[in-house]
Amino acid sequence: MSTKARSLSRILTRTLLLALGVALTLGTAISVYIAQAEYDELLDVALITKAQLMLPLLSAEESLPAAAPRHDFSQIPGLNVDENEKAVFWLTDTSGAILRQSEYSRADLDPADVTQPGFSTLKGYRFFVTEANTNGHMLKVGEPLVERNEAALDSLMGIAFSMAVLSLVAFAVMRRSIVQVQASVARLSSDIGRRDEHNLAPIDATGALGEMTPAVDTVNALMARLSKAVEAERSFATNAAHELRTPLAVSLAHTQRLKAATTDPALQDRAGAIEAGLKKLIHLVERLLQFSRAQSGLGAAEETSDANAVIRLLLTEVAERSDGTRAFDVTMPEGQFLSSIDPDALAIILSNLIDNAVKYGRPGAPVTLDAASPGQVTVANDCDPLTADDLAKINQRFIRRSSAMDGYGIGLSIVHSLCAQSGASVVFRSPRPGSDGGFAATLTLP
pLDDT confidence of residue 368: 84
The CA distance from 244 to 250, in Å, is 10
pLDDT band at 85; cut points 50, 70, 90: low
The CA distance from 313 to 377, in Å, is 13
pLDDT confidence of residue 4: 67
Mean pLDDT of 294-316: 81
Look at residues 330, 303, 311 and name the one whose alpha carbon lies nearest to residue 443.
Answer: 311
Share of the chain above pLDDT 90, in %: 0
Length of the chain: 446
Whether a cis peptide bond, with omega within 30° of 0, leads into 431 is: yes
pLDDT band at 277; cut points 50, 70, 90: confident
Q: Is the pLDDT of residue 439 over 60?
A: yes
Yes or no: say if 282 and 245 are a contact pair by the CB < 8 Å rule: yes
Q: What is the DSSP letter of 196?
A: B
Q: Is the pLDDT of residue 278 over 60?
A: yes
3-state DSSP call for residue 128?
strand
Share of the chain above pLDDT 70, in %: 86
Whole-Å CA distances, 357 to 252, 297, 328, 367, 401: 26, 25, 11, 7, 13
pLDDT band at 79; cut points 50, 70, 90: very low
3-state DSSP call for residue 92?
strand
**For all residues of the chain together, what is the average pLDDT?**
79
pLDDT confidence of residue 51: 86
Dihedral angle of Cα 29, 34, 40, 41, to the nearest 10 degrees: 170
Residues pairing with 328 in the sheet = 367
pLDDT confidence of residue 397: 56
pLDDT confidence of residue 82: 58
pLDDT confidence of residue 1: 44
> 201 — phi, psi (to 5°)?
-65, 150
Q: Is the pLDDT of residue 405 over 60?
A: no
The CA distance from 21 to 18, in Å, is 5
The CA distance from 333 to 312, in Å, is 7
Residues pairing with 330 in the sheet = 369
Yes or no: say if 278 and 251 are a contact pair by the CB < 8 Å rule: yes
Mean pLDDT of 199-214: 76
Mean pLDDT of 85-111: 78
pLDDT band at 411; cut points 50, 70, 90: confident
Q: Is the pLDDT of residue 131 over 50?
A: yes
The CA distance from 232 to 236, in Å, is 6
The CA distance from 226 to 321, in Å, is 42
Mean pLDDT of 124-150: 85
In sequence order, the 6+-apart residues with CB closer than 8 A to the CB of 89 are 51, 54, 73, 101, 102, 139, 140, 141, 142
Yes or no: say if 349 and 419 are a contact pair by the CB < 8 Å rule: yes
CA 312, chain centre distance (Å) = 47
pLDDT band at 313; cut points 50, 70, 90: confident
pLDDT band at 409; cut points 50, 70, 90: low
> 348 — phi, psi (to 5°)?
-65, -40
pLDDT confidence of residue 64: 66
pLDDT band at 404; cut points 50, 70, 90: very low
To which H or E segment does residue 278 belong? helix 265-295
- Does residue 210 or residue 163 have the better pLDDT? 163
Q: What is the DSSP string of 373-388?
A: STTEEEEEE--PPPPH
pLDDT single digits (tens) 212-266: 788 888 888 888 887 777 777 667 766 776 677 778 777 878 788 877 787 778 8
Q: Is the pLDDT of residue 322 over 70?
A: no
Mean pLDDT of 315-341: 77
pLDDT confidence of residue 398: 52
The CA distance from 63 to 111, in Å, is 22
Q: Tell me the residue type at 419.
A: C
To which H or E segment does residue 160 belong? helix 146-193
Yes or no: say if 322 and 360 are a contact pair by the CB < 8 Å rule: no
Q: Tell me the residue type at 417.
A: S
